[in-house]
Every structure is written in C-alpha cells, then in structure tokens.
Amino acid sequence: MRSVQVIKIKDDHLQLKKHDRKIWSVTLSNPEKRNALSYEVVEGIITIIDSAHKNNIRILVLKGTGRSFCSGFDLSNINNIDNKELLWRFIRLEQMLQMLTYSSFHTVVYAQGPIVGAGADLVVSCKYRIVDPSASFLFPGLQFGLILGTRRLANLIGMDNARDILVKSRLVEAEEAKRIGLITEVINQNKWSIEENILAADRVKLSVESMFNLYRITEMSTAHQDMYELVESITKGNLKNRIKEYIKK
C-alpha cells in the first residue's frame, strides 16, 4: 500500500499530493474561476517544482478540478493591477512554464473542458499530455499583442499548424489536438488513473542528471529568447489597456 501525503497550498486553490518519493501530483482547485492562474497559484507551483527537484522525484502530475482544467491568466482584478505588476506576473508565469519544460522529471497533465491562454501553455509545457474528449484549446494572447509560449507551441505542433491556430485565434478540439501532436492521448476522464503514472515512474531508466541534460539539450536553447520576446511584447504600449479592450470584445 502506497502512502499519500496531502498538502494544501495558497488558500486551498492548489493541492499537492506526495504519493511517494517518485511521484507527486498537483491539483488546481479553484473551479469557480475555472482554475485561473492567479499570482499566488503560480508562485505555489514554482515552489513545488523547486522542491520536486530537491527531492529527485521522477514524475510530476498536473490536474484541475471542475469542468475546465485551466482558464489561463487570472484577469479578475485587472483594474487593480498596474503595468509594472502585470509585467512581473507574466515574467513569473513564463519562468514557471520554463521550469516545467526543462525539468529533470517527467511531467504529465490531465486536462478537460475549455483550456485557454496560459492554461493551454501550461499543457504545452508538459511532456505527456492527456485530455478528456471535452477538452478544447484557445491561444488568444496575440489578440492583445502578448507573446507567451509561441515558440514552445510551434516546436510541438510545427510552424504551419501554430501559425494557422494563432493567426485565426481559433478553437482546437481534442481530436484535432491529438492529430497535430498538441496532446498525447484522448482518454475519458473517468479512466484517468494516477496508478498508471506510479507504475511508469518505476520504469524510468535515466538518472535525474541524464533527464535534465536530455531536456536541456533538446529544448532549453531558446529559453532566454522566449523571455526576451515576452518582455518586449508586454512593454510595447499599455498592456493593461490592450487586455481590457480584448475583454470587451
């Protein structure tokens, strides 16, 4: 029998389960906001990733409660945030996504329902991506001039597919997402099993150092450029006004 340690973080909107030393699972648990990524939740995930590295875990699992895995960047208090704070929040968000992308452990995401913006980028940043048939993806950032995760998306699904989705700002349903490589598998939510990931952890053959070097070599070369392009896109004009205009539409 495997022991499970449950830890609630950041006003219960983030839950960490330590199934053993090899596998941890993180659950976004704010269904009223469709698990939007608040500043506190992003900081909580960053803390968990740091701790996961220190504990040499093999697999990190991400899930979200309710009908939507994640609705993206939390814009609920946009009127109370100035552009400097917005810049910092997006920088921390990008850092979180890069930490997942270049981690020395496998990352597995289970996602359902409408997945928007930074929530979709969160899925893209994981190495094994499983969705329910209800899942759909929307990447609206370029509609208000924000460059976040664009290269990661293009690397995953190909430049032509990425351009088609981003230019048209169109919805990508689960089956198309599977066909173009955006996700790995389409599996009904009632068949998701954490036990499968525990067994997978036992089959990981590479050392933690080898895993880190693998992802560093194959994916890490553009990290600084990605951050530069994000910051440049934020600092051109008034991002807060651009977001508010997008929301009005």
Q: pLDDT per residue over 208-233, tens digit each?
A: 777 766 666 655 557 888 999 999 99
Both tokens of 236, joined, read 């051109």
Q: What are the residue boundaries of the structural domains of the chain, listed by start?
A: 5-192+208-248
The region that residue 52 occupies, defined by phi over 0 for left and psi between -120 and 50 for alpha, beta otherwise, is alpha
pLDDT digits (tens, 9 = 90+) for 156-193: 999 999 999 999 999 999 999 999 999 999 999 998 98
Residue 3 has pLDDT above 70, yes or no: no
Q: What is the C-alpha separation between 203 and 231, in angstroms, rounded?
A: 40
Regarding predicted confidence, which is higher, 225 or 36? 36
Q: Measured between alpha carbons, how far is 56 from 150 in angstroms, rounded to an integer? A: 29
Instruction: Give the model's pLDDT for residue 248.
Output: 86
Q: What are phi and psi of 193, to 5 degrees?
A: -140, 120
* pLDDT for 1 beyond 50: no
pLDDT, tens digit (0-9, with 9 covering 90-100), for 113-140: 999 999 999 999 999 999 999 999 999 9
Architecture of the structural domain at 5-192+208-248: Alpha-Beta Complex (3.90)
Q: What is the pLDDT of residue 189?
A: 94
